[in-house]
Amino acid sequence: MNRRDFLKNTARVIGGITLPLTAFKIINPRELLASTGDKTKVRWVFLVDTYKCVGCGMCVRACKLENGIPYDAKVTRTWVERYVITKDGKTHADSPMGARDGFTTSKIDLGIDGYEDIKNADIDKGFFVPKLCNQCENPPCVQVCPVGATYQVPDGVVLVDRTWCIGCGYCIMACPYGVRFFHPVYHTAEKCTFCYHRITKGMKTACVDTCPFGARQIGNIKDPNDPVTKIIMTERIGILKEEYGTKPQVYYLGLDREVK
């Protein structure tokens, strides 16, 4: 083979390989889905009105029952935190059993240090903050999963594939909000899914349905007529731990600077 033939053949081979590869790009399934499907018209977001929350824990109980998280296991997909700020400027916070049974005592749970009794006269302010997965726009848990068992669906919710998760716990370590844990039965990473099995069928999440005070709401931020979207667009709202760059999609009304 002389040089001319060699160059000719090389050009042919490269052309032959490149053309089918370009074809692959043309029928990229993701782009196809984006151009035909209407899934991208939905972006689920959550709105928590902390002024309305009384810390009854109904949402935690409902979530545990709805999503098959063992009732007595000390993990939960959603929980409620209690904050008490005293006159000396100190912040006291707790969430016993994730507030599954509500807050049955005014004493603050200090873990292994027991309980702290706070006199009513010393309290400046007190409030409750429900927590759940923020379904981040830039989810660090999805980024770090070594096998791709956790993923973000086009409407923004982050899910876990229980059949593929290896249980390394990297996603649990990566979440700045501490919403992930190992399922006590399946031993795979577990998290709040905004009740994906319900919201995709036109229902509300279990916690939203069960909240007697309307402190929790779920909506579609891409729909300008959605009541949740309207509140987010017009009211002064806050998000949690903005500094991590995760772009959380759970919005809070009445968020205090002391909220961890």
Q: Which residues bind other proteins (CB under 8 A)?
A: 70, 72-76, 79, 91-95, 97-98, 110-113, 131, 140, 142-149, 164-170, 172-182, 184, 187-188, 243-245, 260
We find the least distance from the C-beta atom of residue 110 to other proteins, in angstroms, to be 6
**Both tokens assigned to 61:** 């109980």
Neighbours of 87 (CB within 10 A): 10
CB of 129 to other proteins, least distance (A): 12
Tell me which residue of 130, 129, 127, 52 sits closest to 84, measured CA to CA. Answer: 127
Q: How far is the CB of 165 from other proteins (least distance, A)?
A: 7
Smallest distance from the beta carbon of 38 to other proteins, in angstroms? 27
Q: DSSP code of 96?
A: G
How far apart CA 236 and CA 248 sit, in angstroms, is: 16
Distance CA 97, CA 116 (A): 17
Q: Which is nearer to other proteins, 18 or 143 (CB)?
A: 143
Q: Which two tokens stand for residue 93?
A: 């916070």
The nearer residue to other proteins, 131 or 198, going by C-beta atoms, is 131
The owner of tokens 């873990």 is 111
Q: Report the distance separating Cα 247 and Cα 149, nearest Å.
A: 21
Q: How far is the CB of 151 from other proteins (least distance, A)?
A: 9
Which whole-number Å values give the CA distances from 194 to 23, 94, 152, in the listed order?
38, 24, 12
Pairing of strands 115-116, 250-253: unpaired
Q: Which is nearer to other proteins, 130 or 219 (CB)?
A: 130
Please, which residue, 97 or 231, has the CB nearer to other proteins?
97
Cβ nearer to other proteins, comparing 99 with 208: 99
Phi, psi of 38 (to 5 degrees): -110, 15
Question: What tokens does 42 get?
Answer: 């939905």
Closest separation in Å from C-beta 9 to other proteins:
32
| Nearer of residues 73 and 231 to other proteins, judged by Cβ | 73
C-beta of 232 vs 250, nearer to other proteins: 250
If phi over 0 gives left and psi between -120 and 50 gives alpha, with beta otherwise, what is residue 123?
beta
Smallest distance, other proteins to C-beta of residue 196, A: 19
